[in-house]
Homo-oligomer: A and B are copies of this chain.
Amino acid sequence: MRMTRQRKVLLEIINQAASPLSAEEIMLQAHQQDPSLALSTVYRNLEKMLELGLCQQIRFQDGLARFEQAGLVHHHHLVCTACGRREAVPICPLHQIQQQLEAASGYKITYHEINLYGLCPDCLKKQVSEQTGHP
Contact = CB atoms under 8 A, between A and B. Distances in A.
A87 B109 CA distance: 13
Size band of the interface chain A makes with B = 35 or more
A95 to B, nearest CB: 9
Given A109-B118, A124-B107, A91 B81 contact: no
A115 B117 contact: no
Nearest to A113: B115
Per assembly, the copies of the chain total 2
A93 B96 contact: yes
Contacts of A118: 102, 107-111
Contact of A106 (B108, B113, B121): B121
A80 to B, nearest CB: 7
